[in-house]
Structures are given as C-alpha cells and as structure tokens.
C-alpha cells in the first residue's frame, strides 16, 4: 500500500461527511516536464515508459490516450505557456510573461506600468576569471530551501533595492524583481544555458547586468554559502533575471468552464495562474517543487477540495521537470514513479471506493528531455479516463503508444474540452 494511504482514507471519510458532492468531478494530474526521448540507459525506453507505474498501467487499459501540442507556434516552450494551455487559456491571447504570473501568487502589488522579472538565485562557477567568463552550474542552487534563500535575497535587497527595483521572496530559488516603469526585454532562461559560459547570455540592460554582477560579489562569500560549500552543496551565489512581463489579465476559470477550481502546486507560477483565473490555491505543508515534496499532502488537499464544494482540481508535480534539468535519468524515473504511486494511485483509489463519478486527465505540460536538460516544444502524451464510461484497450501510457494511438489535439488550449466532454 502506498505511503500515507491509511491517512488519506481516514481524511477522506472525515471530509466526505462535511462536503456536498456534485454529480461529476474533473481532475488534472500534471507531471511537469515528464515527457522525454528514448534513452539508451533505459533500454531505449523513455523514463515514462520505463518507470514502475501500476496506477497508470491500470488506467491506460480503460482510457483514451493520445498526443497534444501545448506550445503555440512561435512561442518559447515553458511551464508558463504550457500550463495556460492545459487550463484552457490560449497563450497567444493571455500570456504577458512568466514572472507576472508568479508575482500574483506571492501577492506582489503590480501597477500597469510595472514589469516583473523572475529572479533565480543560481550557482555559477567561482574561478579566477571575469564574471562574464563564469559558467552556470545549477539553475536551482541544489534545490535550496526557501528559508536559506530568503536570507540571501535580503542581503541583495539591502544593497540593491531602490524606488525603481524591488525584490520579493518566492519559493526555494525562485524569486521576483519588480521594475518600476520597466521594459519587457528578451532574457535568457538559466536552465537553457546550464554548463555554458554566461557572457553571451547576460542582459544588455546596464542596470540589470550591474545587479547580477553585484549580487555575485554579495553572495559568493555569504556565510550561508560558505556553509553550503563545506557540506558539498552548490552555493546560491548569483541573481539571474529572466521571464519579464507586464501585469496579466486572465479571465475567470469558473465563468469559462462553469466549474469551481482548485490549484494544488508548490510552484509560484502555477499558483499565480490560479490567482489570476480566480481559482482557489491549496496550501500544502512541505510542498516544495522538489523530488521529495509532500505528495500525500497534495492528494489530501485535492480530496478535501473535491469533497467540499470544488468541481475541478489541478494537481501539479514539479519533480520530473527538475530532474530533467538536472540531467538525472535515475531521479526522473523516480519522480514519475512517485507521481504514479503516491498521487494517482491513492487519489483514484479513494474516489473509486466512494463511487465518485470523475474524469481524469494525466499529462505533462511539455517535454524536458534528459539529453538537452531543458524544455522542448514537442507534443506530449495525454491519458483521459472516465470512471463512468471506462474503455477496453490494450495500450500503455507512454510517448510511443500515445503517438501510435492516432489521437491528436493540435491546440493545447482545447485539451480541457476533451476533459469536460465538450
């Protein structure tokens, strides 16, 4: 029995007594960056095909599988555009930049004239060369804790913050910079330049470049980083700005779909999309976007929402994407195994035991192939299950068989119509 299932069943019984159940529930389980390419180390299988996924193996025989293209032509592949698509928002209409969505999540007050930028605190090399000749080693600084990173950001803020630039703490290595009367600039994503010399990827804007350089000088010998290096951990030694955009204007999810929705995610981007769309945002203690997040807590939050007035839940798991960026085959397989055995399995078991009618969509937002360690625009596999009308199929849920199924959704923002049975 998966870890925490007894606890989940007890919790389910309790919330059921308080909740008013509607006729049908709708669920998305989003494995961020889960799709990949065949890997020799896995016998030519993808991580999704290789992982131990008993829940998905069972569901695939009862479900529709296929491929969906989540990234509109001409747009960069990212969790921002892709998750907007999955939720039914055409990125070509609604996308105004990544960081503004995250700013919504952490309650940053944005004016119409403000520009928000993602402020990652990353790991760059600490050799004797000039700043421009350093190499970016880790976009997540070893998945540093929010608590430690907040201290580091405060050190940067004390020296660099002014009326034009304000810093805000996010989650883990992911933070926010608000630029008053700013400009929306093309800036390089740090996870796209891992292992490369940073000079050609630095911002042309002199103020942003100065702050990046100065942040390195502030952080390189910070006590927290000295301790991290002593422990063999990657130091969080430089601010990296990217994802610039203006204040987002999303329409109401409930008005679009007729469903009251809840977001379950550790990631500020997803929480921000939910806030902008008027959805609820679950608070899950210990959810951190890493491989060792609180999977059971996410299921608890989803079940509680479904049993207490919500019609739709979106369970987002960041771990497969992070392991793809790290280039770890073993850890990406583990992340998919956890998603199956600690989220999908317990969730469907509880709903089935209570004879709840539900439709479930399982999919990635985009691929994050181990080979390139960043996002691509390739189509991704989906699985659509209807508890009230199970199919009889012989296939398994993976990239190859989903592609061979013949089912294809060319516009990502319409996949939600399949989920809703429209």
Q: Which residue has the higher pLDDT, 102 or 70?
A: 70
pLDDT band at 18 (very low <50, low <70, confident <90, very high): very low
Q: How far is CA 391 from CA 65, 148, 165, 386, 422, in A?
A: 11, 49, 55, 8, 18
Q: How many CA atoms lie within 13 A of 20 on its CB side?
A: 1
Cα dihedral 336, 339, 342, 347 in deg (nearest 10): -140
CATH numbers and ranges of domains, the chain:
5-96+249-419 (3.40.720.10), 105-245 (no CATH)
Q: What is the pLDDT of residue 285?
A: 92
Q: What is the pLDDT of residue 107?
A: 87
Q: Which helix (H) or strand (E) holds 314?
A: strand 312-317
Whether the pLDDT of residue 334 is over 90: the answer is: yes
Q: Mean per-residue pLDDT for 209-225?
A: 97
pLDDT band at 11 (very low <50, low <70, confident <90, very high): low
Instruction: Give the pLDDT confidence of 238-272 residue by residue, as tens digits.
Output: 999 999 999 888 999 999 999 999 999 999 899 99
pLDDT band at 98 (very low <50, low <70, confident <90, very high): confident
Estimate to the nearest angstrom the gap between the alpha carbon of 256 and the chain centroid.
23
Q: Which of these ranges, 45-49, 105-109, 144-148, 207-211, has the smallest mean pLDDT?
A: 105-109
Assigned token pair, 119: 């402020």
Query: β-strand 358-363 against 25-31: which pairing, if any?
Result: parallel
Q: Mean per-residue pLDDT for 360-366?
A: 98
């Amino acid at each position: 029995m998966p870890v925490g299932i007894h606890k989940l069943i007890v919790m389910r019984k309790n919330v059921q007594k308080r909740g008013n159940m509607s006729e049908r529930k709708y669920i998305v389980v989003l494995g961020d960056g889960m799709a990949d390419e065949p890997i020799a180390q896995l016998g030519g299988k993808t991580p999704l095909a290789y992982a131990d996924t008993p829940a998905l193996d069972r569901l695939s025989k009862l479900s529709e599988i296929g491929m969906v293209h989540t990234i509109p032509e001409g747009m960069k592949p990212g969790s921002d555009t892709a998750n907007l698509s999955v939720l039914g928002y055409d990125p070509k209409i609604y996308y105004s930049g990544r960081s503004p969505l995250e700013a919504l999540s952490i309650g940053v007050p944005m004016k119409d004239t403000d520009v928000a930028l993602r402020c990652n605190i990353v790991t760059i090399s600490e050799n004797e060369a000039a700043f421009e000749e350093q190499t970016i080693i880790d976009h997540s600084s070893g998945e540093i804790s929010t608590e430690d990173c907040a201290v580091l950001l405060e050190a940067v803020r004390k020296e660099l913050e002014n009326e034009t630039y304000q810093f805000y703490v996010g989650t883990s290595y992911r933070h926010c910079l608000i630029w008053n009367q700013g400009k929306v600039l093309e800036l390089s994503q740090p996870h796209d330049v891992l292992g490369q010399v940073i000079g050609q990827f630095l911002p042309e804007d002199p103020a942003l470049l100065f702050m990046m350089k100065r942040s390195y000088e502030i952080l390189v010998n910070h006590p927290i980083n000295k301790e991290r290096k002593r422990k063999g951990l990657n130091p969080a030694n430089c601010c990296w700005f990217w994802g610039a955009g203006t204040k987002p204007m999303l329409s109401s999810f409930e008005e679009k779909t007729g469903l009251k929705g809840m977001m379950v995610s550790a990631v500020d981007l997803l929480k921000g999309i939910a806030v902008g769309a008027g959805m609820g945002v679950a608070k899950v203690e210990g959810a951190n976007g890493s491989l060792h997040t609180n999977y059971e807590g996410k299921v608890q939050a989803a079940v509680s929402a479904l049993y207490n007035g919500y019609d739709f839940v979106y369970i987002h798991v960041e771990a497969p994407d992070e392991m793809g960026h790290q280039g770890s085959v073993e850890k990406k397989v583990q992340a998919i195994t956890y998603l199956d055995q600690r989220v999908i399995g317990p969730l469907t078991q509880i709903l089935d035991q209570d004879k709840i009618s539900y439709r479930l969509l399982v999919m990635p937002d985009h691929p994050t192939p181990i080979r390139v360690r960043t996002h691509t625009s390739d189509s991704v596999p989906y699985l659509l299950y209807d508890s009230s009308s199970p199919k009889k199929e012989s296939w398994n849920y993976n990239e190859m068989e989903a592609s061979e199924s013949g089912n294809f959704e060319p516009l990502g923002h319409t996949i939600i119509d399949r989920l809703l049975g429209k």
